[in-house]
Amino acid sequence: MELVQQLVNGISLGSIYALIALGYTMVYGIVKLINFAHGDVFMVGSFMGFYSITILDLSFFPALVLTMAACALFGVAIERIAYKPLRNATRIAALITAIGVSLLIEYGVIYFRGAQPEAYPGDVLPKETISLFGLSVSSQSIFILGVSVALMILLQFIVHKTKIGKAMRAVSHDADAARLMGINVNNTISATFAIGSALAGAAGVIFGTYYIKIEPLMGIIPGLKAFVAAVLGGIGIIPGAMVGGLLLGVIEALVSALGYSLWRDGAAFVVLILILIFLPSGLFGKNVREKV
C-alpha cells in the first residue's frame, strides 16, 4: 500500500522532471548545446506562477498559461542575447556561457527580490484523497500528472503536425540543408527555446503548487536531475526525455520507500554514472532514427 503511494508520488515528480528534461533534449537536438540555464527558467517560472496567483489573484490555469508565455519570451531572450552570437563557437565556449547565464539568473533574482523563500497558497489545487482500487491517492498527484501528460501530448502534436515542428525536425537533422530549403534556422532555434522554456515554466508552477516552498536557488537540483533524465532517455530524443523523467521520479520514490530518503538525490547521479558506463546513448538512443 505504502509502496503504491510512493510510486504515485514518484510518477508525479517524474512528470515534472520530464517537462524540464524536454527543454534540455529539444535544444540539444537542434543546436547541440546543453543549456544549463534551463533549471533557472524553471525557477523563474515558479516565481511567475507565485506572483500571478498571489498578486494578480489568478487561479491555477490562467497562472499556468501566463507563466508559460512569459517563460517562452524569457527563453527566446536568453537564446538571442547569450547563445546566438556563439552559434559557430566551440562547444566549451557555449557550455561556459550557459553556466554563466545560469548564475546570472540565480543571483539576479536574489539581487532584485532577496534570497528569502516564498510559499504557494495551500488552496491553489483541491486537496482531496481519492480512493482508486482500494488505494488512497492524493487528488493533487493525479491532477499534476494529468496536466503534465497533456502538455507532453501537446508537444508531440506541435513537433509532428505543425509547420514549426517540421522545421525543428529538419534543422535537427541537417541545419545547412534546411537553410537551403528556405527554412529560417535562427527563428526555428528561437522557437525551440521558446517551447522548451514554456514547458520549464509550467513545471515551475506545478512544482510550486505541489511542494509549496520556492526559493531563488531551487532550480539547481531539479535542473541537474532533469538533465540526468534527458541523458537516461537519450539526449536529443523527445520520447526519451519523457520516459527518462518518469523513470527517474519512480527510482527516487523507490529509494525513499526503502528507507534511504537521504540518498534520493544521490540516486539520480548514480543512475547517470551507470547510464554513461553501460548505455551511453540512453534508453532510446541508436534505435530511434528520428530526433527532435
Lowest mean pLDDT among 53-57, 277-281, 286-290: 286-290
Stated as kind and residue range, the H or E segment containing 137 is strand 135-138
Stated as kind and residue range, the H or E segment containing 91 is helix 91-113
pLDDT in tens, 212-251: 899 999 999 999 999 999 999 988 889 999 999 999 999 9
Q: pLDDT-derived band of residue 42, with 50, 70 and 90 as boundaries?
A: very high
Stated as kind and residue range, the H or E segment containing 197 is helix 185-211
How far CA 260 is from CA of 35, 66, 252, 265, in Å, comes to 31, 38, 9, 10
Beta bridge partners of 131: 136
Q: pLDDT-derived band of residue 140, with 50, 70 and 90 as boundaries?
A: confident
C-alpha 245/C-alpha 13 separation (Å) is 8
Amino acid at residue number 131: S
- Grid coordinates of 192: 525551440
Contact 88, 94 (CB under 8 A): no
Q: pLDDT-derived band of residue 292, with 50, 70 and 90 as boundaries?
A: low
Per-residue pLDDT, 290: 47
Amino acid at residue number 87: R
C-alpha 39/C-alpha 224 separation (Å) is 7
Per-residue pLDDT, 62: 95
pTM of the model: 0.92
C-alpha 219/C-alpha 236 separation (Å) is 21
Beta strands 118-119 and 135-138: pairing type? Answer: unpaired
Q: Which domains does the chain have, with CATH numbers?
A: 2-120+135-278 (1.10.3470)
Per-residue pLDDT, 1: 64
pLDDT in tens, 58-101: 999 999 999 999 999 999 999 999 999 998 888 899 999 999 99
Half-sphere exposure of 149 (CA within 13 A, CB side): 9
pLDDT in tens, 159-197: 999 999 999 999 999 989 999 999 999 999 999 999 999
C-alpha 250/C-alpha 234 separation (Å) is 18
Task: Output the CA angle 205-188-92, nearest 5 degrees.
Answer: 80
C-alpha 183/C-alpha 88 separation (Å) is 18
C-alpha 115/C-alpha 239 separation (Å) is 36
